[in-house]
Amino acid sequence: MVECLICTQNWLQAKHRTSQLEDAIMHAQNDDSSLENLQFNEETKTELEKLIKTLVTMPRFDAEE
């Protein structure tokens, strides 16, 4: 049971971080296209891709289980 709660918490944290990164990318793209901004986008996209892979492979436990 504790493992289920920890796994669910980790999944929710990763999902929340994914949303934050998606928002950061969208805001950065709307600001300007400076070199610094483009580098930020690439780094953020890389982190986002890693988180998505983690979410896809992470087991998810629903509260009903």
pLDDT 10s digits, 23-32? 877 776 565 5
Pick 19 or 25 by higher pLDDT: 19
CA distances (Å), origin 22, targets 39, 40, 45, 46:
15, 12, 8, 11
Tell me the mean pLDDT in the region 32-47.
Answer: 73
Q: Is the pLDDT of residue 65 over 50?
A: no
pLDDT reported for residue 4? 75
DSSP state of 65: -
Residue range 41-56, pLDDT digits in tens: 778 788 888 888 877 7
pLDDT reported for residue 28? 64
* Helix-, strand-, coil-residue percentages of the chain, each rounded to 5: 80, 0, 20
